[in-house]
Each structure stands twice: as C-alpha cells, then as structure tokens.
Amino acid sequence: MLVRLIDSMSTTEPLAEVFSDDSVLRAMLDFEAALARAEAKFKIIPAAAARAIAQAAHPEDFDVAALARQTLRAGTPGIPLVKALRQKVAERDSAAADFVHWGATSQDVADTALVLLLRKAAAFMNADLSRLQSVLLRLARQHKNTVMLGRTLLQPAPPVTFGLKAAGWLGSVRRGHARFNHALSEASVLQLGGASGTLAALGKRGIEIGEEVAKRLGLSYPDAPWHSHRDRLANVVCACGILTGSLGKMARDISLLMQSEVGEAAEQGGSGRGGSSTMPQKRNPIGATLALAAANRVPGLTAAFLSQMVQEHERAAGGWQAEWATIADLVQSTGVAVASMAEAAEGLTVNEKRMSANIKSRRGTVFAEKATLLLSRKIGREAAHRLLEQATDPAQERDGTLSELLQQMPDLRDLIDKEVLRKLEDSEDYLGVAREFADRLSGSGPTRPHRKK
C-alpha cells in the first residue's frame, strides 16, 4: 500500500494499509459473511444462501469508487454495500440475494468494521510500542550512572541521570500502552442491533446469533447493542490521546537535547534522514518532529470525537457518521508517533562528555540548593537563600565556581567545613535517589503499591 503524499507525515505504510479502501471493504464484507453463516446455523436463512453470500464477499470484485460516491448520497456505507453485495450474490443464486444483511442495519456493519480495523491497527502499534519500550529499558540501564543537568522551566537545575530521564519516558509509555490495550479490549465488541437495537427481525434468537457472529469475527459480545453509546470507542480515543502526549513529551526532550548549544543527545542521521535542503551541516530531530506533529494533531481529534458522543435516541444524525474519518486519522497519527519514537530511540546517541561539560559550565551554580541547605543550619533558611541568590546572581559576573565564591565571602568562610565545601560541586554527592527511581520505573527495583487515602 502506497501512502498518499499528503498523508506521508501522518501515518505509516502498515496503518495506511489498515485503513485502505480494500481493508475497510474487507472488514464490512467479513461482517456480512459472518452474519449469514450465523443465521444459517440457527436456520434463520437457508444454508445455501449463506454459502452464496460468503462466496460473493470478496472486496476485489467491488467498485470502491462507486461505493464511495453512493455512500455520500446514502449517508452510510452500509446501504450501497448491501445493494452491491446483493447484486453479486444474485449472480450466483438469485434466491439467496434476498437474505443478504438479514435483520441487520447499516450501522451494524459500519461499527463492526471499525472495530475490526482498530484491532488490526493495534497489532502494528503494539509491535512498535514493544520496540520502543525495549530500547528505553536498555537506555535506562545503560545510563543509570550517566550524570547530566536537570532542567526546570528550561533553566539549569541540580543534576539528574540520563538513566532516570529514559526510565521516565519508559514508565509513561508503559502506562500508555497498558491503557490503550485495556481500552481496545473493552471496545472489541460486536455491533448487531438491527433497526432499533432490539434485533426484532431475528425473533428470540437475536442474542444467540449475535454471540455466534462475534465468535466468528473474534470479538466479544456486548450486553446490548451500542449504536448511540460511544463510550468504549471514546476510551480508545482518549488512550491514544494520552499515549501520543507521552510520546510528544519524550520527543520534546530529545529535540531540546539535540540543540547544538546543548548537544547531549542526537538522533541517527544518514540515508536521507534529518538533513536539510539548504544547510549541509544540519542534523535535524526527524523522529521527534513527526511525533510532535502528531501530538499537535491528536488533541483536536480527541476533542472532536468526544463532541460526537452526544447522540440522539437509538440512532444519531451526524454523530457516528463523523467518527470513521476522526478515528482513522487519530489512530494513524498515534501510530506514526509510536513508530517515529521507536526509530529515534533505536538510533539515539548519548554524549556523556557533553553532559559532564555542561554541568561544569555552570560553575557550580546548580548546587546552590545544596549550599543553601548547608548554610541553613548555621544562619537560617531565609538568610541562606538570600546569600546564595547574591552569590549566583548572573548580573554580577563573578569569576570562580560557587564553592570558590563562598570561600571568598568572609561571613561564610568559617560556617561551612572546608572538606564539605570542596565536595559542594560533586554531582555524585547530590543525586538523591535518582538511581532508585530509575530502577523502579524500569522494573528492576522494588515498587510500592499506591496507598488509598
């Protein structure tokens, strides 16, 4: 499947194939074939009719362009699909054609097809999510002791480890992955309700037939049809929104670390990746850029779906009709973010020397909190904070490191032990439990259950 040029930065080839015309048509025809076979099993329609319907349900035999034009006029893909399928069945068995779509309604085929497409898309997304988590776990363990600047509000802060940063990404992606799969599992249910959601056309065998259709399609059977109740799909949509936001956070971090004046990490280049049409020296954060683009799109799509949930009575006018395009765009955007960050993480280089140099370039100022705590025991918290503000004021342009400046201040010289002062700018001495947190996030350390208040 070739990705359309206009979609080339908002999907992947596998996901474009999932939502291709052939794939969508296949999902709808799979529903019709499964419905016919289930109804034949319970003698609602003749077995010969079910066979003829299944034999005619091949997407390559249908005119997709014609179906698309007719769908725009019908307001649902089900009507032109059923008409075309009846024509195909009639060519084999004229009597069997009357039993196509027996007892079902147009939204049944559309919703079930959408669920089948989501399940196919999830297989590709899960593979990429597993790739990403595997790489992040390796980075977290490999760089457990790689010290780097912490940054708050984009300004230098006390040191952290790159292992903790990678483990933070990992924890968020893991939670998002679990949330997505849980939502998808709940949404993987058949839609079969007939005209008003009662399956009246199937008499008292509606539930048995529905359970059989669901079994044939590998779906669960819900307590009742959900034509105007879209909460399960909304869960999937919101899970995608949260997951894409987590990937966007990771992408933002990497793109900032790649800035030449920071230079602490870099995505892989070469083979047409990350270059510039005018500047040969450029090495751009392409994976991060694509994930950030998705993170910009997905919140709007999520909001659009949530606004589509307000649906009237037993069948909506305009609500579910809007969902196909919204969900297709949203899932593909989430998928390209996952795939892009998996590729970025796999090729990520970490510049430990630059991380160390960036800490040293701050001349100890990032340890002002540590110095404040040491002085607080002698002169009180507020006085200590005020003195450290003066000592680290960038407008003063003082020479020397923080420890050297403190030694030059007569009022403080005797308040802090010289040995303690000498270790003031030792990053290893001010990492707290960064390694323990990284271990907990990466699953290699003890974790505690959340306590209920």
DSSP per-residue codes, 220-249:
B--SS--TT--HHHHHHHHHHHHHHHHHHH
Neighbours of 379 (CB within 10 A): 14
Q: Where are the chain's structural domains?
A: 105-189+226-355, 365-424
Kindly give, in sequence order, each residue whose CB lies less than 8 Å from that of residue 402, ignoring residues fewer than 6 positions away: 363, 364, 365, 367, 368, 371, 391, 392, 424, 425
Q: Report the first-to-last Cα separation within the chain, whole angstroms.
A: 52
pLDDT by residue for the chain (453 residues), tens digit each? 678 888 888 999 999 999 999 999 999 999 999 999 999 999 999 999 999 999 999 999 999 999 999 999 999 999 999 999 999 999 999 999 999 999 999 999 999 999 999 999 999 999 999 999 999 999 999 999 999 999 999 999 999 999 999 999 999 999 999 999 999 999 999 999 999 999 999 999 999 999 999 999 999 999 999 999 999 999 999 999 999 999 999 999 999 999 999 999 999 876 655 554 454 555 788 999 999 999 999 999 999 999 999 999 999 998 889 999 999 999 999 999 999 999 999 999 999 999 999 999 999 999 999 989 888 888 899 988 888 888 888 767 677 888 888 887 776 667 777 777 778 889 999 999 999 999 999 986 555 544 444
Nearest to 405 by CA among 134, 221, 113, 396: 396
Structure tokens belonging to residue 341: 């960050």
Q: Which stretches within 315-397 are classed as H helix? A: 323-346, 352-360, 368-379, 381-391
CA–CA distance, 59 with 370 (Å, rounded to integer):
69
CA–CA distance, 335 with 331 (Å, rounded to integer):
6
Strand duo 147-152 + 265-266: pairing: unpaired
Give bridge partners of residue 160 from the DSSP assignment. 148
CATH class of 105-189+226-355: mainly alpha
Structure tokens belonging to residue 37: 């076979």
CA–CA distance, 46 with 39 (Å, rounded to integer):
8
Let me know: does 85 contact 52? Beta carbons within 8 Å. Answer: no
Structure tokens belonging to residue 202: 């199937």
C-alpha 67: how far from chain center: 32
Active site residues: 276, 315
CA–CA distance, 440 with 154 (Å, rounded to integer):
26
CA–CA distance, 378 with 73 (Å, rounded to integer):
81
Kindly give, in sequence order, each residue whose CB lies less than 8 Å from that of residue 49, ignoring residues fewer than 6 positions away: 36, 40, 89, 93, 95, 96, 98, 99
CA–CA distance, 453 with 450 (Å, rounded to integer):
9
Structure tokens belonging to residue 247: 């990937």
Residue type at 101 in one-letter notation: H
Match 């059923």 to its residue by tokens.
82
CA–CA distance, 167 with 71 (Å, rounded to integer):
48
Residue type at 409 in one-letter notation: M
pLDDT score at 394: 77
